[in-house]
């Protein structure tokens, strides 16, 4: 598996399971084996995953909103359930900031690293999760092997996607996973590019027409299939 695809899958898995480590207990002493945490933090009930692939030059920091108060990597026996202010591998004391132009429930800075929301119990639509209305520039297909660009949606299809995607009903990833037999099925890898130049990689399941946190409408599912076919028609 390619590094970027592994990183994305690791974040998704971490959100689904809320933990990605093995803890052993013997004679009242805890220790763990070669922990490789996905980069996750929790703030105001929202779980965020670290974005390591985007061009962040078009983004800027807003006001300070808090600090990391607990890091799993700093504890021999880390607690399993994450709480507000917890992170998997950020150092305790890392300053958190708003991202100018975005709701903090969608994106925050942790030091100089961007974190994007992957789970929000208060969300009702994907826009509640992503704060994407009016901010998406382009959607495209990318390679599942190396993340390279395959094809942008046509202007007409792009406009429909930009309009309809944020409206989709938000479903927590763990719930959608249960409904789709652990989200089995063929995946299309896609990338959403924002007007500020930052990007977000998403996966689309063809067996259960859905993204990780929402089912696609029939219109959107048909649109994606039509656009996919254009890759091979060129």
Return the domain boundaries, the chain.
1-120, 123-234
Residue 20 has pLDDT above 50, yes or no: no
CB 189 within 8 A of CB 144: yes
For residue range 81-110, list pLDDT tens digits in order: 999 999 999 999 999 999 999 999 999 999
Cα(59)–Cα(82) distance, integer angstroms: 28
Please choose, from the candidates 10, 198, 12, 4, the residue with its C-alpha nearest in 3D space to the C-alpha of residue 118.
12
Cα(200)–Cα(218) distance, integer angstroms: 23
Q: Is the dihedral of CA 125, 126, 132, 137 positive or negative?
A: negative
For residue range 201-227, list pLDDT tens digits in order: 999 999 999 999 999 999 999 999 999
Query: What's the pTM value of the predicted model, to 2 decimals?
Result: 0.85
């Amino acid at each position: 598996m390619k590094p970027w695809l592994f990183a994305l899958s690791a974040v998704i898995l971490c959100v689904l399971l809320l933990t990605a480590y093995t803890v052993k207990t013997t004679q009242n002493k805890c220790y763990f084996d070669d922990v490789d945490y996905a980069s996750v933090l929790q703030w105001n009930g929202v779980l965020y995953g670290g974005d390591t692939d985007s061009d962040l030059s078009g983004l800027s920091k807003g006001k300070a909103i808090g600090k990391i108060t607990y890091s799993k990597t700093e504890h021999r026996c880390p607690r399993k359930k994450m709480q507000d202010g917890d992170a998997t591998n950020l150092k305790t004391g890392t300053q958190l900031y708003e991202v100018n132009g975005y709701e903090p429930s969608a994106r925050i800075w942790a030091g100089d690293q961007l974190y994007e929301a992957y789970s929000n119990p208060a969300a009702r639509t994907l826009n509640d999760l992503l704060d994407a209305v009016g901010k998406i520039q382009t959607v495209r297909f990318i390679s599942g092997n190396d993340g390279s660009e395959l094809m942008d949606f046509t202007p007409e299809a792009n406009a429909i996607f930009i309009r309809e995607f944020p409206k989709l009903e938000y479903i927590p990833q763990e719930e959608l996973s249960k409904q789709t037999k652990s989200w089995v099925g063929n995946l299309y890898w896609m990338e959403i590019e924002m007007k500020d130049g930052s990007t977000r990689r998403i996966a689309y399941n063809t067996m259960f027409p859905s993204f990780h946190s929402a089912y696609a409408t029939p219109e959107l599912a048909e649109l994606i299939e039509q656009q996919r076919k254009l890759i091979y028609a060129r």
